[in-house]
A and B are shown apart, each in its own frame.
Chain A
Amino acid sequence: QQQVKQSPQSLIVQKGGISIINCAYENTAFDYFPWYQQFPGKGPALLIAIRPDVSEKKEGRFTISFNKSAKQFSLHIMDSQPGDSATYFCAANQAGTALIFGKGTTLSVSS
Chain B
Amino acid sequence: DAGVIQSPRHEVTEMGQEVTLRCKPISGHNSLFWYRQTMMRGLELLIYFNNNVPIDDSGMPEDRFSAKMPNASFSTLKIQPSEPRDSAVYFCASSPDGSYEQYFGPGTRLTVT
Give A contacts to B, CB under 8 Å.
Answer: 32, 34, 36, 41-46, 49, 89, 93, 95-104
Contact = CB atoms under 8 A, between A and B. Distances in A.
Given A41-B106, A44-B43, A101-B43, 8 more contacts: A42-B106, A43-B91, A43-B104, A46-B101, A89-B43, A96-B98, A98-B59, A104-B43
Contacts of B80: none
Nearest to A45: B104
B101 A104 contact: no
A43 B107 contact: yes
B104 A102 contact: no
A103 B41 CA distance: 7
A93 B42 contact: no
Given A98-B48, A101-B43, A49 B100 contact: yes
